[in-house]
Amino acid sequence: MLLIRCPYCEEERPELEFRNAGEAHVARPADIAAISDEDFEAFFFIRSNPKGIIYERWRHIHGCARFFNAVRDTVSDKFVMTYKAGEPKPKKLPGVAK
Amino acid sequence: MKKYSVFAIAREAMRGHKGWEAQWRSPEPKKEYDVIIVGAGGHGLGTAYYLAKEHGITNIAVLEKGWLGGGNTGRNTTIIRSNYLYDESAGIYDHALKLWDGLSQDLNYNVMYSPRGVMMLAHNIHDVQVFKRHIHANRLNGVDNEWLTPEQAKAYCPPLNIAAHARYPVMGAALQRRGGTARHDAVAWGYARAASARGVDIIQNCEVTGIKRAANGAVTGVETSKGFIGAKKVGVVASGHSSVLMNMAGVRMPLESYPLQALVSEPVKPVVPCVVMSNTVHAYISQSDKGELVIGAGTDQYISYSQTGGLHILEHTLDAICEMFPIFTRMKMLRSWGGIVDVTPDRSPILAKTPVKGLYVNCGWGTGGFKATPGSADVFAHTIARDEPHKINAPFTLERFRTGRLIDEAAAAAVAH
Ligand SMILES: Cc1cc2nc3c(=O)[nH]c(=O)nc-3n(C[C@H](O)[C@H](O)[C@H](O)COP(=O)(O)OP(=O)(O)OC[C@H]3O[C@@H](n4cnc5c(N)ncnc54)[C@H](O)[C@@H]3O)c2cc1C
Ligand SMILES: [Zn+2]
């Protein structure tokens, strides 16, 4: 089971308190009815599914109930960091080469 | 290839079993092949076999980063059934079921296909309605599936708890009698041996690290840990790693890869005569010929390539198993493991040509592709050989996520195997 740090509650809690909410930083088009089928496919169905660093959303559903973002390595499942919703995608990752 | 038979066993018994040959060759890769298959699971090895057998293409390499059958093929709970909801699904899963029937003879290898029946339990009104809808849809497609009352379910599987006060009451069940299990390793080994005998090179410990394309975009070969290997046709059959490979050719996929776990108990005398599945409580159980209870759990909630999952997922499944089968509460579990499954948004596979010339993909089988192995391999071989899909896999395109022609088994199958 993962241990996840909620950036709002500022503590590590067991995964059971959280719900994964998919890839982060996928912006919903402002006028979704106007976009092309290609753009809708890319927004709705296509995912990066990376082997390595992933940016993903979590929700502390059985805690403060808030959404936040996390950076995790999908090979080791180790979290690099978590940050609040709305904050930009971190450019520098602590402890990660490249 | 020396044929396996009762005479071969007798002959070898007389001479101390010194005459058995290796089941497949382990050659070094050639510089170029007509077709390269990436991934030596059941679907990949089967594709190579049918390319050679049905389409006369034998200059084929199957490249495998680990050992053959070491992916999900060797990690799954081997449930075989074809009672999915939609016509397209009936087409492909039932094609597979028909091939399972003669597979041991075809391959001269005992894949231990055992049509012992797959029983899916209904625990609430919603389950009852959904399963009855499936039964009717299946009947229209000529796929067997029948409704059982709780008493009939208990008669078919005696250790089942159908008491009214049960934590997960059994309100009935759908039974596919032709469903069952097969020996997963034997499927990989049988296809490998038969393909190798027809000239297919199976190259293990050879990881594909890049897909090379010419100026016009067409595939020219693959970069591997054993150097560049040329081919004008490349088929990606890499389950959990399919999106990683397709990315190498610049194709982004509608896939997410999750851990899925299973576990086995200590071996006991025959007690579970069929396969029992419960989608609602996430538990699947059958008994292997060695006597172990083979139990499948659900997926973890996050993307991972770790081939391990959380312990709480297994606990949740065992909670359910103990409620449904109180007789097993004191059994010891011996081993658990995980595989990485590639899940599509509509829970149906992608078996198709791709926007890249010469690149084909067979993926998205998610939590339930073992059952489809022979059918999938057969139509994928057709797709590669003819450069056009077989009518059975024609609906399973990559483009359906753009056109909206989904084959939405998501509601129908959820995490089912
Ligand atoms: C725990 C568990 C239980 C399951 N239970 C069932 C069930 O009861 N019934 C059912 O129908 N299905 C079940 N499934 C799903 C089923 O196992 C898969 O859908 C099916 O086996 C996929 O077969 P495959 O040949 O496509 O993939 P795999 O057997 O995974 O083969 C793909 C191969 O590609 C290789 N590969 C990956 N990347 C590379 C690379 N870069 N270069 C070279 N090779 C590479 C991998 O090493 C692997 O061997 C289960 C899966 C799991 C994990
Ligand atoms: Zn919180």
The string of DSSP codes covering B223-272 is EETTEEEEEEEEEE--GGGHHHHHHHTT---S-EEEEEEEEEE---SS--
Q: Which of B255, B256, B402 to mutate to test the interface with A (most CBs of A within 10 A)?
A: B402
Looking at residue B412, its pLDDT comes to: 57
B392: pLDDT confidence band, cut at 50, 70 and 90? very high
* Percent of chain B residues topping a pLDDT of 70: 98
- Ligand 1: does its nearest atom lie under 6 Å from the Cβ of B341? yes
Structural domains of chain B sorted by starting position, each given as residue range(s) with its CATH number in brackets: 31-78+184-254+346-403 (3.50.50.60), 115-180+256-343 (3.30.9.10)
Chain B, 287 to 326: residues with Cβ < 8 Å from chain A are: 301-306, 308, 310-312
ipTM of the predicted structure?
0.96
How many Å apart are CA A26 and CA B242, to the nearest integer? 22
The residue count for chain B = 417
The structure tokens listed for B349 are: 């596979």
pLDDT tens, position by position, B177-229: 999 999 999 999 999 999 999 999 999 999 999 999 999 999 999 999 999 99
How many Å apart are CA B231 and CA B357, to the nearest integer? 12
- Ligand 1: does its nearest atom lie under 6 Å from the Cβ of B299? no
What mean pLDDT is predicted for residues B299-316?
96
Residues of B within 8 A of A1 (CB-CB) are: 310-312
H or E segment at B34?
Answer: strand B32-38
Which has the closest alpha carbon to B360: B350, B352, B368? B352
How many Å apart are CA B184 and CA B371, to the nearest integer? 10
B303 with A74: Cβ contact below 8 A: yes
Pocket test for ligand 1, best of B185, B305, B370, B371 (most atoms within 8 A of CB): B370
Secondary structure (3-state) at B296: strand
User: Quick one: DSSP state of residue B213?
Assistant: E
- Residue B236's DSSP bridge partners are B38, B361
Residue of B nearest to A46 (CA): B254
pLDDT tens, position by position, B135-184: 999 999 999 999 999 999 999 999 999 998 999 999 999 999 999 999 99
Residues of A within 8 A of B402 (CB-CB) are: 37-38, 40-41
On the question of pLDDT at B413 being above 90, the answer is: no
On the question of pLDDT at B328 being above 80, the answer is: yes
User: Quick one: DSSP state of residue B359?
Assistant: E
The structure tokens listed for B314 are: 């297994």
Mean pLDDT score of chain B, rounded to an integer? 96
B244 touches chain A (CB under 8 A): yes
B67 touches chain A (CB under 8 A): no
Residues of A within 8 A of B304 (CB-CB) are: 74, 77
Say what the alpha-carbon torsion angle A35, A38, A40, A44 is, to the nearest 10 degrees.
-160
Which segments of chain A have a pLDDT < 50? none
B256 touches chain A (CB under 8 A): yes
Residue B169, φ and ψ in degrees, nearest 5: -60, 145
The pTM for the full model equals 0.97
Say what the alpha-carbon torsion angle B71, B73, B77, B81 is, to the nearest 10 degrees.
140
Q: Which atom of ligand 1 is found nearest the CA of B68?
A: 49
Please say whether the beta carbons of B195 and B48 come within 8 A: yes
A46 with B306: Cβ contact below 8 A: no
Residues of A within 8 A of B312 (CB-CB) are: 1, 15-16
Angle at A22 between CA B394 and CA A84, to 5 degrees: 160
How many Å apart are CA B208 and CA B248, to the nearest integer? 10
Q: Which of B241, B244, B310 is nearest residue A1 as measured by Cβ atoms? A: B310
pLDDT tens, position by position, B240-261: 999 999 999 999 999 999 999 9
CA distance A72 to chain B (A): 10
Looking at residue B410, its pLDDT comes to: 81
A48 with B252: Cβ contact below 8 A: yes
Looking at residue A97, its pLDDT comes to: 66
Residue of B nearest to A40 (CA): B402
Q: Which of B252, B305, B404 is nearest residue A75 as measured by Cβ atoms? A: B305
Domain-by-domain residue ranges, chain A? 3-84
Q: How far is the CA of A85 from the centre of ligand 2 (A)?
A: 12
CA distance A93 to chain B (A): 19
Neighbour count for residue B168 (Cβ, 10 Å): 17
Please say whether the beta carbons of B196 and B25 come within 8 A: yes
C-alpha distances out from residue B361 to B175, B254, B329, Å = 32, 12, 43
Q: How far is the CA of A7 from the centre of ligand 2 (A)?
A: 7
Looking at residue B381, its pLDDT comes to: 98
Residue of A nearest to B345 (CA): A45
**Going by CA atoms, what residue is nearest to atom 53 of ligand 1?**
B339
- Ligand 1: does its nearest atom lie under 6 Å from the Cβ of B180? no
A54 with B303: Cβ contact below 8 A: yes
What mean pLDDT is predicted for residues B11-36?
96
Considering every ligand atom, which ligand is closest to the CA of B297? 1
Considering every ligand atom, which ligand is closest to the CA of B82? 1
Task: State the burial class of residue B166 (Cβ atoms within 10 Å of its Cβ: 0-12, 13-18, 19+).
Answer: middle
On the question of pLDDT at B88 being above 70, the answer is: yes
Pick the CATH number of A3-84 from 3.40.50.170, 3.30.2270.10, 3.40.50.620, 3.20.20.70: 3.30.2270.10
A51 with B241: Cβ contact below 8 A: yes
Looking at residue B371, its pLDDT comes to: 98
Secondary structure (3-state) at A80: strand
CA distance B240 to chain A (A): 10
Q: Which of A16, A45, A50 is nearest residue B401 as measured by Cβ atoms? A: A45
* Percent of chain B residues topping a pLDDT of 90: 96
Looking at residue B406, its pLDDT comes to: 96
How many Å apart are CA A54 and CA A3, to the nearest integer? 16
The structure tokens listed for B44 are: 């990949």
Which has the closest alpha carbon to B69: B197, B319, B237? B237
